[in-house]
Structure 1
Amino acid sequence: MDLFDDLPEPTQSCGLISAASLSATKEEEEEDEEEEEDKEEEKRLKRKHDDADCHEKREDEEQAEIKKVYKEGLPVLKGFVAARRGERDEMQDAHVLLPDMSVCLCALPGHVSQVSYFAVFDGHGGARASRFAAENLHANLAKKFPSGEKETFDKLMKKCLLDTFRQTDEDFLKKASSQKPAWKDGSTATCVLVVDDTVYVANLGDSRAVLCRAEAAAGADGEKRSLTLSLSREHNPTIYEERMRIQRAGGTVRDGRVLGVLEVSRSIGDGQYKRCGIISTPDLRRVQLTANDRFIILACDGLFKVFSADEAVKFVLNVLQEGSVEQKEALTEEELRFDAACQQLASEAVRRGCADNVTVILLSITF
């Protein structure tokens, strides 16, 4: 017996209703199929997105692990600063301490784990050039910071620093010339950029940076001797190369000064002397830090008028070796010693008769 024989034969009206129902059912089925397809597509896209997220997460974890491994053995630099006005009416020095400059960068190159920046600016003719440089030089540096491979990084960093100083000088001169009357301020600049365990020093003028490094071999008494390494080069018009450049540009050097007035031969600002051979091109030096390195002194010429580089290093070492230090909240004993050494070094420069502004940055180095 055919099973369909049990069903009643449809009437005409029933046939119309059935046809309508059938049409509706067909549309519903098509909608259901579309919904199922949409759901399947959503699931597929979600799986694809989850897979991408998972892959990206794995890459981030791998990169973080690489950075973590790479960071082991890298130096940690901490900056301490002391500033004294001396006998001047105005404080024309400026300084910057950025122990973590990565916050200023869009992204770190893959082979770089940490970047630090420290700088001293010694103004003359006013404080506007030094303050401008303190506010803008590292910002320009961050914009131009190289993103290339490790093999070409040094070359790119050199170009970056040269471009940064030129840009900062041009920006200040443009602003200075737009004033009524035009600003005549100028400033030296000594900047220490630490990329992982490599120190790049860019300087112009007579502010200086020196490194204290213990000798690898101990002396006869079993103690390691300390070496003072110069990380910068002074620029004044009495130096032969500097004087020749100034004279070729049509300037003169009298009493050790450009036109008998300006003490430095390179600077940021000093627009009225740029036609006389004053340039803003820094000297660049690079040094690889080692476990034997103790600290870096970064200071304006106010310090070095009354201290030689060796004397400044020995003064700091003596303070670091003193027996007791005054306890302060949130500072370790070692940090307290470095802070005390920095403060005492600046104060001693004033006590020795330096009438100039004195700014000292002391950078401790630990591995």
Structure 2
Amino acid sequence: MGICASVSSSEIHDDSYGDENSVYHRKVSTCKNGSQIGSTHSHAGSKGLNQDSAILYQGYGIEDGAFVGVFDGHGKNGHIVSKLVRNRLPSLLLNQRNAIAKITSSPTNNAQNDRKTETYDKSEPNKNFFKWKEACLSAFRAMDKEIKILDSLDCSCSGTTAVVAVQQGEDLVIANLGDSRAVLGTKTEEGMVAIQLTTDFKPGVPSEAERIRKCNGRVLALKEEPHIQRVWLPHDDSPGLAMSRAFGDFVLKYHGIIAIPDISYHRLSPNDQFLVLASDGVWDVLRNEDVVAIVSAAHSEEAAAKSVVDATIAAWKHRFPNSKRDDCTVICLFLNA
């Protein structure tokens, strides 16, 4: 499959925004032989600070492993929360996964865990998926608690979404919290096709709206933006959150907003060419098929993420010339580098 050797995390993510409204510096992971396996690019919208963060971590867990994530902050302190989660979540997740591995390898638990895994495998394609799923649930829960107890950071109405993917050889585990998205580019006889791997968790999704309303939260759109459903407190016209799952946003955690990710699995095949993770600013104006076509046509792996961001900015200007453009962040992970 040609997965690259590991590189240090400091080489593939940083805080180098220049000034806080500038373009996030692109980072490219490389193999020892010099071939690129991924790129990231982010551009601030017209609303102020760029609140997006991203990470591409090669050599995660195992030599042919990778961790990629896009985090879209919102609220007054959203840019701080997104960076905090970006920097902390990968280690939290790996620690949880290693802890689960130690427990399940204990001689006293082998028989019980074998039965548990065997039962689970009837509906799941890989034995390790259950362990990664449990680790994701624990890590996301711990991450939200860490944010909550920070005395120096008010996250009552600030938070971040998170879409992350963990590649372990041919196994791909995706955890999604919020309205960013993961899309797979796969080669078929008819050409490249886009496979959406996540659900956009917005308040307008019926199951999400039902949960929020059961917790006395309100879901409704403003008259000036009838196409955007938002979450409001029971008796107060605030904060108007445009996603239904997120880290932080603790004023709404008793009213249906949750930090429980949706976790899915994909077994990679030689036809799977690349994975794209992007914040909702991209998907607001580009279709999955558009993004896959842009990445496929990019002249290099290094240029792929920037090509998608450039196309997104152009699409915003064309479709919403009088609206403030959202931040746009893209990660492209090439699976057959």
Please indicate the TM-score interval, normalised by the length of the shorter structure.
Answer: 0.7 to 0.9
Q: What's the TM-score once normalised by structure 2's chain length?
A: 0.73
Matched-pair contact (CA < 8 Å) for 1:161–1:202? yes
For 1:340, the equivalent position in structure 2 comes to 303
Report the count of equivalent residues: 261
Matched-pair contact (CA < 8 Å) for 1:128–1:185? no
Matched-pair contact (CA < 8 Å) for 1:213–1:293? yes
Deviation at 1:318, TM superposition (A): 2.4
Unaligned stretches of 5+ in structure 1?
A: 1-72, 103-107, 219-223, 321-336
In the alignment, the residues of structure 2 paired with residue 343 and residue 100 of structure 1 have an alpha-carbon distance, to the nearest angstrom, of 23
In the alignment, the residues of structure 2 paired with residue 74 and residue 351 of structure 1 have an alpha-carbon distance, to the nearest angstrom, of 34
Provide runs of 4+ in structure 1 moved above 6 Å. Answer: none
Matched-pair contact (CA < 8 Å) for 2:166–2:174? yes
For 2:60, the equivalent position in structure 1 comes to 101
Unaligned stretches of 5+ in structure 2?
A: 5-35, 106-113, 118-126, 222-228, 318-324
Q: Which amino acid aligns with 1:364?
A: F
For 1:365, the equivalent position in structure 2 comes to 335
1:320-339 superposed matches below 5 A: 320=299, 337-339=300-302
Q: Which amino acid aligns with 2:50?
A: M
For 2:124, the equivalent position in structure 1 comes to none
Deviation at 1:168, TM superposition (A): 0.4
Describe the SS at the equivalent of 2:49.
Answer: coil
In the alignment, the residues of structure 2 paired with residue 208 and residue 89 of structure 1 have an alpha-carbon distance, to the nearest angstrom, of 23
Deviation at 1:75, TM superposition (A): 4.3
Decide whether aligned partners of structure 1 residues 276 and 158 sit closer, same or farther in structure 2, where only a CA change above 3 A counts. same
In the alignment, the residues of structure 2 paired with residue 208 and residue 160 of structure 1 have an alpha-carbon distance, to the nearest angstrom, of 21
Describe the SS at the equivalent of 2:332.
Answer: strand
> Cα deviation per residue 1:43-95 (whole Å; 9 max; x = unaligned)?
xxxxxxxxxxxxxxxxxxxxxxxxxxxxxx46458220111002131010011
Deviation at 1:153, TM superposition (A): 2.2
Decide whether aligned partners of structure 1 residues 294 and 182 sit closer, same or farther in structure 2, where only a CA change above 3 A counts. closer
For 2:87, the equivalent position in structure 1 comes to 135
In the alignment, the residues of structure 1 paired with residue 245 and residue 309 of structure 2 have an alpha-carbon distance, to the nearest angstrom, of 25
In the alignment, the residues of structure 1 paired with residue 305 and residue 69 of structure 2 have an alpha-carbon distance, to the nearest angstrom, of 15
Bigger proportion of residues as strand: 2
Q: Higher RCO, 1 or 2 (CA under 8 Å, sep at least 6)?
A: 2
In the alignment, the residues of structure 2 paired with residue 167 and residue 248 of structure 1 have an alpha-carbon distance, to the nearest angstrom, of 25
Q: What's the TM-score once normalised by structure 1's chain length?
A: 0.67
Q: Which moved more, 1:300-309 or 1:113-122?
A: 113-122
Superposition CA RMSD, Å: 2.0
Deviation at 1:347, TM superposition (A): 1.4
Describe the SS at the equivalent of 1:352.
Answer: helix
1:308-327 superposed matches below 5 A: 308-320=287-299
Identity of aligned residues (%): 27
> Cα deviation per residue 1:4-59 (whole Å; 9 max; x = unaligned)?
xxxxxxxxxxxxxxxxxxxxxxxxxxxxxxxxxxxxxxxxxxxxxxxxxxxxxxxx
For 1:235, the equivalent position in structure 2 comes to 201
> Cα deviation per residue 1:125-149 (whole Å; 9 max; x = unaligned)?
0312211111111111121114257
Matched-pair contact (CA < 8 Å) for 2:147–2:155? no
Q: Which amino acid aligns with 1:278?
A: I
> Quick check: 1:197 aligned with 2:170?
yes
For 1:163, the equivalent position in structure 2 comes to 138
Deviation at 1:231, TM superposition (A): 1.1
Bigger proportion of residues as helix: 1
Matched-pair contact (CA < 8 Å) for 1:207–1:301? yes
For 2:9, the equivalent position in structure 1 comes to none
